[in-house]
Amino acid sequence: MTRTIPLKQGLNIVWAKESSTVARPGLRNAGHGVGKTSLCLLLRHILGDDTSAVGALREKAVSGFPKGGVAAKVHLDNSTWLVFRPYGAYGHSLAAEVDSLEELLAPGVANQFQAYLTSLEAFSIGRLTSQSLPGSNQPLKWKHLLAWCIRDQRKRFDGFYSWRDGEGLGFTRPRREPPVFVSSVLGLLDADMDDLIRAVEAKQVEVERTEARLPDLEREPGLLLSGALREMRLRVGANEDEPVFQNTACDSIESRVAEMLDAALSLEAGLEKQVDAAEDRVIEALNQLKEFKRRVELAEADFGIAKSRVTQNLPELERFIKLRETLQNPSGRCDIGGIEISACEHVLQRRAKPELNLIRDEREVKQTAANLAAQVRSCEQELEAAKSSVNLQEQQLSNQRVEVRRLRIRIATSEASRVTLKQAWDVLKLRQEQRDKGLDNAELARAQEQLAVSKRDLNGLKAKLEARKSQTSKRTKDLTALTRSIGERMLGASGHVRFMPGNEVKPFEIAKGGEAYQVLEVLLGDVVCLIDSATSDRNHHPGFLVHDCPREADMSELLYRNFFMTSAEAADQLAGTGGTPIQFIVTTTSAPPPELRSKTHVVLELEPGVDEKLLFKRELMPSLPGLEPA
């Protein structure tokens, strides 16, 4: 089951007629629920829109047409794309530069859907002076322009910049940015004005940031001072009522700090003396240790001599005797006595010790065996005693070194605390003195000066921008003249329509009150932009417009007729001149003017209650049980 809609250049009317069957009451007789809005959503789907409203329609459509979809020919500049998009969420969208759907679906045809989407961006946003919005630098997308070109019926045409209901377009500033975007599309925003807008936005951000900092900068010195005071009172043990500086005989933070600093210096001086004494003891113990180790070596030599005589090991005996002589005749000064070795009583005593004679014969050995054994035992005992003395001395030396390190740690800890206290006092003293002299907020003064300069620069930029806007350029004149001409045709009178490019709410205004004229302002503005796109090379509007159901009830019968007739006449005139074509698609439940009810302008008639005249030739959602019409 298919339906072909012959959309063409110029005005295309989709007329949802009231039912010809009088017996069908209510909504089924009023032209609703036949597919007008669904057709607009399908057009959005074909043009790359995948928002929630389109998704909701696809979910309904796929239940009745599981393998169904929508196809269309899309003309972009000099290229014609055949596009097919399925209803199913998991189907593949297809696009190629071919002439028919059969060719697109034929095997072997390359799918260029992504290239088609890229072409949409290039055809629309790619032609703008800038592809981003001033201020936020938000990238512009085809979806922004599409939302304007296919208006959402649910917004009821209640404002020129009201394009979607419940589907955010992603503008960072929804009120300020659509007018700038439209100005860019219409060619009113040239490179110079774009630069000015960006400069104003940047400077405005700078001003706002500086203003936001001022309250914190104003509070910061007081907070820092009170924090420093609180910390210092806790550190020195001062009461809340004690003054900062010493001005009487009473205690103050200053006097307590001085006392603590003096006490720390005194402590450190005493500890330094203890360190000196401890280091002297370390040196003395080190020298004694050296002597004890030499005694061990002598005892080892004596023990070796005695043992060698017992074992009659002459080579070892000679070696140990030479070793002892070397140890007994050192050169230099004695470490313990601090005098020359030759005058040292201890050394002289060692030298006066009787020598052990070499063994002459076996008989002598036997005669002196008992004496030699006693000498060995005596030497061994002396060696063990010397080793014990070394161990004790090493432990004492270690303890004395630990004491030196402990004292140095105490000194370092005291110095660190003293320096920290001194630094904290210097900071507190400086902050208090600056506060007393009113000099405690230099950064605030700099920020205020910067703010004044930024505001002056901002005002200058705004003045330049307003002057630039107020200049009556040729683009503004052309749009003003076209607006006046179309307004006269719609209203039948002159002087009631104005084009106001700087207005962020109503760029096209009809100088009459009433809701009918508010709707007509939106319709008028869209038609002006559409026609201008065909007559000006500065206008980057795609020349494609869809209005979903601007009903006669929203206006008056005369205004409704004039709206349609003006659109048809303008399209016919443009087609007759051979200029750039436009395409205007309007869905309506009200009958179009009799002159436009032919197939030349009415491309599709829909009617409730007649399946063949429903958009999908059937209702997508069945009626609820028990509520079927009689």
Closest CA to 42 of 120, 150, 184: 150
Mean pLDDT of the region 373-383: 71
DSSP structure string for 539-578: ----SEEEEE---GGGS-HHHHHHHHHHHHHHHHHHHHTT
The CATH number of domain 10-188+473-613, selected from 1.10.3470, 1.10.10, 3.30.160, 3.40.50: 3.40.50
Separation between Cα atoms, residue 201 and residue 176, nearest integer Å = 11
Sequence-ordered list of residues with C-beta below 8 angstroms from that of 576, at least 6 positions apart, any chain: none
CA angle 546, 550, 551 (to 5 degrees): 150
Higher pLDDT, 395 or 169: 395
Mean local confidence (pLDDT), 329-356: 56
Report the percentage of the chain scoring pLDDT > 70: 85
pLDDT at 379 over 90: no
Tens-place pLDDT, residues 245-293 = 877 667 888 888 899 999 999 998 998 998 888 888 888 878 887 887 7
Percent of the chain predicted with pLDDT > 90: 35
- Two structure tokens written together for 278: 């401890």
Q: Tokens for 451, please give them.
A: 């703010």
The whole-angstrom distance between residue 478's C-alpha and the CA centroid of its chain comes to 44
**Mean pLDDT confidence for 29-37:** 76
Q: What's the gap between Cα 19 and its chain centre? A: 57
Lowest-pLDDT range of 134-148, 295-309, 367-381: 367-381
CA dihedral over 36, 41, 42, 47, signed as positive or negative: positive
Q: What is the pLDDT of residues 513-557, one digit of tens each?
A: 667 788 889 999 999 999 999 989 889 999 999 999 887 667 888
For residue 602, what is the enclosing H or E element? strand 602-606
**Which amino acid, residue 385?**
A
What span, in angstroms and rounded, lies between the C-alpha atoms of 390 and 289? 6
Pairing of strands 583-588, 544-548: parallel
Q: Alpha-carbon distance 388 to 393, whole Å? A: 9
Task: Give pTM, 2 decimals.
Answer: 0.62
Q: Which residue has the tokens 């189907």?
A: 91
Least confident of 296-310, 447-461, 602-616: 296-310
pLDDT of 472 reads 58
Mean pLDDT of 397-422: 89
pLDDT at residue 165 tops 50 = yes
| Helix orientation angle between 362-437 and 253-311, rounded to the nearest 10 degrees | 170
- Are 335 and 295 within 8 A, CB to CB? no
pLDDT value, residue 602: 95
In the structure, what pLDDT confidence band is assigned to residue 597 with cuts at 50, 70 and 90?
A: very high
pLDDT tier for residue 25 given thresholds of 50, 70 and 90? low
Per-residue b or e along 414-435, where b marks 16 or more CB atoms closer than 10 Å to that residue's CB: beeebeebeebbeebbebbeee
3 state DSSP class of 69: strand
CB atoms within 10 A of CB 293: 15
pLDDT at 416 over 60: yes
Mean pLDDT to the nearest integer, 608-623: 82
Sheet of 602-606: strands edge to edge?
A: 544-548, 583-588, 10-16, 602-606
Average pLDDT over residues 25-49: 81
Q: Is the pLDDT of residue 238 over 80?
A: yes
300 to each of 379, 476, 501, how far by Cα in Å?
8, 116, 112
Residues 211-238, mean pLDDT to the nearest whole number? 84
Residues 453-510 have pLDDT tens digits of: 999 999 999 898 888 777 657 888 899 999 999 999 988 776 689 998 878 889 999 8
pLDDT band at 55 (very low <50, low <70, confident <90, very high): very high
- What's the DSSP call for residue 14? E
Domain residue limits, the chain: 10-188+473-613, 201-236+441-463, 253-437
In 3-state terms the chain splits into helix, strand, coil percentages (rounded to 5) of: 60, 10, 35
What is the chain's mean pLDDT, rounded?
83
Give the Cα separation of 396 and 582 in Å (integer): 107
Looking at this protein, which amino acid is placed at residue 115? A
pLDDT of residue 630: 39
User: What band does 624 get if pLDDT is binned at 50, 70 and 90?
Assistant: very low
Classify residue 78 as exposed, middle or buried by CB count within 10 Å of its CB (0-12, 13-18, 19+): exposed
